[in-house]
A and B are shown apart, each in its own frame.
Chain A
Amino acid sequence: MRYGETGYDLEIDLSTGNIEKVERDPKLTELYLGGLGLNAYTMWSRVPADADPFDPDNLLIFAAGLLDGTMAHGANRTIVTSYSPQTKLLGFSMMGGFWAPELKYAGYDRIILKGKAPELVYLWINNDKVEIRDAKHLKGKGTYETSYLIRQEMKDSKVQVMAIGLAGENRVFFASLEHGRNSASRLGLGAVMGSKNLKAIAVRGTKDVPQAKPERMKELYFELLKYIQYRLQNPLPGIPGILAYIGSPQEMKLFDERWHTTSFAWGHARYRRKDFWTEEIEKKWAETQRRRIERYVSCYNCPVECGAIIRHDGLTTHRYLMKCFSKLTYLMAAESDSLEFNFDIAGKAQEYGLDGFTTPQVMAFAVELYENGILTDKDLPGFPKNNEERFYYLLEKIVRREGIGDILADGVYWAARRIGKGAEKFDHNTTKKHEQMVIKLGMLNPIYFLMYATGEKGNITQIEGQIPQAPLPKEVREEFVKDWPHVPKGKEERFKRFILEWGDEGKVFPFYPPPDLCCELVEWQEIMHYIDDCTGVCAGLSSFPIKPPYHIHNYPEIISAATGLEIDEDELWTTATRVRTLVRAINVRRGMRRKDEKPPEDHWKKRFPEYEEKLLDTYYKYRGWNKEGIPTIKTLKNLNLDYVAEDFIKRGILKPEEEEE
């Protein structure tokens, strides 16, 4: 009997139409938990290291997290994994909502897809019934329309659908998978799905997910619920509103957008508008927001309501769903003052199935090239004068890969190289070929330097968390550390002192915190995310906010109550480190090295190249990686990743004799 997980994967070969239900070795759960951990293991062991992302041999894996479908709050993440067409590295993108729990209730932890369907198809999974169905009638349809149509066909409001839009069908490198208000949007996995001729996956399940220690699970559930309720009503003092709560940043509920609009960069991540936020804007935006939002919505088994249903009469469904920063990404990139514009274009873009983070940056990049004469009217025939209209123009070109759209659809990095003529210089906000957060700051932040440089996720919000992003005001520091049980064992003294001192004279960036403390802080932030990526718990309840409901001390018990897996804090930490290291190993095998580990050059005005190298050296060493950022044989063996070490030796990536020194 297995608890929490079903123990089964659905293996589907789209080329042959073969469908199999395969039981997994329980040992794998001990080693990799679930979700990303299992996906990484499967990618490592089954996909050739040099496979092209669009190669039929490349796998596309959809995993429910280990805790998905149990009583654990917010355990609803789907972890989609493949090689990314944009970065060419491992791409894993998470989304919340209802899809993964439904998959569990249908009796599966994962769907592992390979091959390529001869024609456009969708999958229909209803408990034991699994069908590959013709999707010709859905070709070119939007993500919402597709979901709507499939749900209509099934006449069951509990069918959960995830779908790609035109962008995925046309293999736009930043195409997303959309499922209601939730998107697996980073790293272009929608394009991989398109390359397999798969339009959508619809799931419905009515089977049991057993829990190992029912009574304990119930107690933990209500303990956490009480804390969630408390945190929703008690923002942390001294911390900007958007970071003072739990959940995904509460942008659907907050009306005050001073923080984002004045501290994030506008245009193609170029400049700040420090006096943008006026009373007049606030009034106008509040009116728009109230009018457009029809309802606040949550993901499965979570009361936090981070999302909203947005009215949109330009869509066949007349509404779409949104959360978080996509409320502002388009308008800031287009340098528009209109929140209405953002609601409109974001809805259209999501219907096409595009990442709301990368897309506006690609568009702003194109506008910049045009204004600098690198792209001309020949490339952009009939290009409108006004930025908002330009964005709509570019949207249509990109999703169809039409004219210049075909180049822009590869994202800023690749487009710059294909365009040439100095366009490369305008590629200033990518890391590992992927567009980054639109932040431009003054002084180097050593903690964020390390997270940007060494992060495997391409997205800072999936790495950061736990600690305030700036020194706390003096008067709240004592109180903050007094009630901070989240800190990992053995770090209490150091991390609390850090909060108490940070911002004092001499305790400022870039030389404070010192490199060793930076390493520990980065590790903590990152490890919490990797745990979530394996368990399927939403980062908004765990790794992202400050003082979240889930933490390293209560996690082991929750995992054990749900699954029966006896794991303590240290073992959980080690397991997450194993997964983190395996992800790195996959990327190393695909060629990633130290030279790739660079935050955007202009992320900070004041840079310290020598010191940054020292930071990187210290961090690599701390992690047990060599000078190139490759985990050493010893590190790999300590983590039960002997097979990785052997592979690295065979390929000449690691040399045993070099490590002796």
Chain B
Amino acid sequence: MAEKKKKIVKQIIINADECNGCRACEAICSGYHSTDKFSIINPGRSRIFVHWDPYRNLFVPVLGGPQAPAECLARNKYIIDGKEYDECLFCGAVDCPSRELFQDPDSKLPLKCDSCESEPPLEEPMCVQVCINDALTYEEREEEVEEEREWDELDMGLEHLIKTFGPDKVLETFERLVKKEQTP
């Protein structure tokens, strides 16, 4: 076990129920991260991806997250409002081999959300600033965290899922997956 350490945890909280699908977050993210800030707009280069599906009433902003392990573990089912949605739609893996969500359209390099790190730091990340309907909010808090990277990332990922879908749904999914694993 690694040592515990105090650390500022920066987190964007996604409330998919409040998302109206405007994609202003994508536009601004691409602008902010262009070489000469705001010199181009191109949601294709954004580090946030809004799953936009009015016909299924599914508007889910996903942040370009960690690298997926080579053998993808993310073939999950997600349950939103009691309905099941397939596979990896909402996974934030930046180097997923089967999709192009978080790839730069030209260089194909992964696009990972860096919380708009800058010097001096922004008051809030860009996407949060433009989401005036509060589908995206921002939180900074001090936390004791383990100094071990994988766990840290797993924690973040799970926390993110819990914030998005609620603890019950995540637990339910988890249980079902474990059961599936166990049945021969």
Contacts and interface: CB of A to CB of B under 8 A. Distances in A.
Given A71-B31, A229-B132, A298-B20, A147 B40 contact: no
Contact of A205 (B24, B27, B44, B55): B44
Nearest to B40: A208
A295 interface: yes
Nearest to B19: A295
Interface stretch (A276-284, A301-309, A485-493, A633-641): A301-309
A88 B137 CA distance: 51
B165 interface: no
A494 interface: no
B36 interface: yes
Interface string A294-326: 111111111101000100000001110100000
A597 B55 CA distance: 42
A209 interface: yes
Contact of B57 (A71, A207, A214, A319): A319
Interface in A94-148: 98, 105, 144, 147-148
B28 interface: yes
Given A214-B36, A299-B22, A71 B54 contact: no
B31 A214 contact: yes
A298 B21 contact: yes
Contacts of A217: 38
A70 interface: yes
A70 B55 contact: no
Interface in B3-25: 20-24
A218 B55 contact: no
Nearest to B32: A218
Nearest to B25: A301
Interface residues of B, number: 32
Contact of B27 (A71, A148, A214): A71
Contact of B37 (A180, A215, A295, A300): A215
Contact of B59 (A69, A295, A317, A319): A295
A297 B20 contact: yes
A206 B22 contact: no
B44 A207 contact: yes
A386 interface: no
A69 B41 contact: yes
A70 B57 CA distance: 26
Contacts of B160: none
A250 interface: no
A210 B129 CA distance: 22
B124 to A, nearest CB: 12
Contacts of B39: 210-211, 214
A129 to B, nearest CB: 13
A236 interface: no
A410 B53 CA distance: 34
A234 to B, nearest CB: 14
Given A206-B44, A225-B132, A229-B132, A214 B55 contact: no
Nearest to A4: B41
Interface in A246-301: 294-301
B133 A305 contact: yes
Contact of A215 (B23, B38, B54): B38
Nearest to A228: B132
B42 interface: yes
Given A207-B42, A209-B42, A218-B31, A157 B24 contact: no
B43 interface: yes
B30 to A, nearest CB: 8
A294 B57 contact: yes
Contacts of B44: 105, 205-207
Contacts of A207: 42, 44, 105
A181 interface: yes
Nearest to A145: B55
Given A299-B22, A305-B20, A157 B52 contact: yes
Contact of A302 (B22, B51, B53, B59): B22
Contact of A206 (B24, B31, B105): B105
B22 A218 contact: no
B163 to A, nearest CB: 19
Nearest to A106: B44
A363 to B, nearest CB: 27
| Residue with the highest number of chain B CB atoms closer than 10 Å, among A207, A208, A210, A305 | A208
A21 interface: no
B130 interface: yes
A222 B37 CA distance: 15
A71 B41 contact: yes
Contacts of A321: 54
Contacts of A180: 54
B43 A105 contact: yes
B55 A319 contact: yes
B55 A144 contact: yes
A158 interface: yes
Contacts of A309: 54, 57
A303 B20 contact: yes
A411 B20 CA distance: 35
Contacts of A209: 40-42
Contacts of B20: 295-298, 303, 305
Contact of B133 (A158, A215, A218, A303): A303
Given A295-B20, A299-B22, A302-B22, A319 B43 contact: no
A301 B24 contact: yes
Contacts of B132: 225, 228-229, 303
Nearest to A127: B105
A158 B52 contact: yes
Interface centre among A157, A208, A218, A319 (most CB of B within 10 A): A157
A210 B105 CA distance: 16
Contacts of B23: 98, 300-301
Most chain A CB inside 10 Å of its own CB: which residue of B39, B55, B132: B55
Contacts of B130: 225, 303
19 contacts: A70-B41, A71-B27, A71-B38, A98-B23, A151-B53, A151-B55, A180-B54, A209-B40, A214-B39, A218-B31, A218-B38, A297-B20, A300-B22, A303-B131, A305-B20, A305-B133, A318-B55, A319-B54, A319-B57
Interface of B: 20-24, 27-28, 31, 34, 36-45, 51-55, 57, 59, 105, 129-133
Interface of A: 69-71, 98, 105, 144, 147-148, 151, 157-158, 180-181, 205-211, 214-215, 217-218, 221-222, 225, 228-229, 294-303, 305, 309, 317-319, 321
Given A206-B105, A209-B42, 4 more contacts: A210-B39, A215-B37, A217-B38, A221-B28
Q: Which 10 A-B pairs have the closest CB atoms?
A: A206-B44, A214-B38, A298-B22, A206-B105, A208-B40, A298-B20, A214-B39, A208-B42, A317-B55, A218-B38
